[in-house]
Amino acid sequence: MSNIDETIRKHRGFFDEEEPSEGHLERFRNKLEQRFTARKRINIGPYLLKAAVVTLLVTLSSLYSWEHFIRPESRTMTLSQVSPQYKEVETFYVRQVNMLENEIVGIDFTFDGEHKRMLDEEMKLMDASFRELQKELKANPGDERIINAMIEHYQTKIEVMSYILDQLKQVKSTNHQKDESHEKVSI
């Protein structure tokens, strides 16, 4: 590079006096415009590719979230999906369970929070085990063992809820009798 610098210094007068050939500035401007427009076209491609990849990732993650978190019931199967006869059986048991739940909720009984928490946890555990049975039925549709286990689950849940309801009614009537006896004593 020092040779070029030396050459330019020696011939400085030559460079200062001479003008570029005619049309040089137009050719230079055209070359700059061609490079500038070509560079623009080349640079837009990677941005479009990145946008397409991001769109694809967002779409796939949304579908995954929908399938696994928002709509988890699609991973389960109910008895009503097996056959019309099982639909009738399931409808009967679901009505019984709902009726017992409404009765338990309808009892105006104030028991301590610990017992209520235990009752809620037991019901949640029973529901969780039933959801597992539904998942197994989805994996093995028509498996009689799983179908029988689901029916037995309904029967057991009804028995447990009936027992709880009876116990709550007994406690309520005992408390009611105690309250009446206290009122008679205070009069």
The pLDDT tens digits of the residues spanning 66-118 come to: 776 666 555 677 877 888 888 898 899 999 998 988 887 777 656 566 777 77
pLDDT, residue 35, reads 77
Rounded distance between C-alpha atoms, residue 149 and residue 130, angstroms:
9
pTM of the entire predicted model: 0.54
Rounded distance between C-alpha atoms, residue 117 and residue 154, angstroms:
22
Could you count the other beta carbons within 10 Å of the beta carbon of residue 134? 19
> Cβ(109)–Cβ(167) under 8 Å?
no
